[in-house]
Amino acid sequence: MIQRQNQSELRLDGYEVVLCLSGGVACYKSATLASRLVQAGAGVSVAMSEAAERFVTPLTFQALTHRQVFTSLWQSGEDFRSRHTSLADLADIIVVAPATADIMAKMAAGIADGLVPTTILAATGACPILIAPGMNTRMWESPATQSNVARLKEWGFNFIGPAEGNLACGTVGIGRVVEPEEILATIADILKQNPPKNAATT
């Protein structure tokens, strides 16, 4: 049984989190999550889909994490390692927040047509993956989405939410991305099961 930690006691020093954003209005919650992770001592690298950039800018996450933000498979940097595999190798955990129906469908089908789905595919089996879904209630409850969720859970993916409440479409129902503090606590619960990758190799 997972035991929640007090926020003041939560430390993630040495752990590396790769935060993947797909295109949902709840991207603003991911900014808060990134900030909380950094405050807890984690290293945070952010990968954004093109759709996610329409809701929040990469500059926001660069300011919060003090790191380069990755938006493309073709993005150059100081090193020229394959971007998706280098992020997967770095991560102690991959967090997909918000996770839209689209990105979950790609994950379940093994589609790698951009940086975010390719990074997730490369990380599958290499580190824990936590998914925080966010979408319209009908999209969440659709047979296609529920089939994809079931498949991903069968493969060992972790889920948190969605929660019930007011949705961006103006309705009330299940589909809200859970609050950043709850995601943070779940990340800590998962990470604390193993030492950081860097610590394990030193």
* CATH number, residue 120: 3.40.50.1950
- Dist. CA 155–CA 147, nearest whole Å: 13
How many domains does the chain divide into? Answer: 1
5-9, 67-71, 122-126, 179-183: the lowest-pLDDT one = 5-9
Does 198 map to a domain?
no
Cβ atoms of 93 and 129 within 8 Å: the answer is: yes
Does 172 map to a domain?
yes
User: How confident is the model over 77-82, as a mean pLDDT?
Assistant: 50
Does 200 map to a domain?
no
Does 35 map to a domain?
yes
Q: Is the pLDDT of residue 2 over 60?
A: no
Q: Is the pLDDT of residue 81 over 90?
A: no
Q: Which residues are catalytic?
A: 169
1-5, 31-35, 140-144, 176-180: the lowest-pLDDT one = 1-5
Cβ atoms of 26 and 46 within 8 Å: the answer is: no
Half-sphere exposure of residue 194: CA atoms within 13 angstroms, side-chain side: 15
Does 3 map to a domain?
no
Cβ atoms of 136 and 177 within 8 Å: the answer is: no
Closest CA to 135 of 171, 187, 90: 171
Beta-ladder partners of 46: 19, 69
Residue 14's pLDDT band, with cuts at 50, 70 and 90, is very high
Does 154 map to a domain?
yes
User: How confident is the model over 168-185, as a mean pLDDT?
Assistant: 88
Does 199 map to a domain?
no
- pLDDT for 1: 35
Looking at per-residue pLDDT, the higher value among 19 and 23 belongs to 19
Task: Provide the domain limits for residue 42.
Answer: 11-189
Does 45 map to a domain?
yes
As a whole number, the mean pLDDT across the chain is 89
- Dist. CA 97–CA 104, nearest whole Å: 11
Closest CA to 35 of 75, 74, 62: 62
From the DSSP assignment, how many helices (H) and strands (E) are in the chain?
A: 9, 8
Q: What is the pLDDT of residues 123-171, one digit of tens each?
A: 999 999 999 999 999 999 999 999 999 999 999 999 999 988 767 767 7
- pLDDT for 38: 98
pTM, to two decimals? 0.89
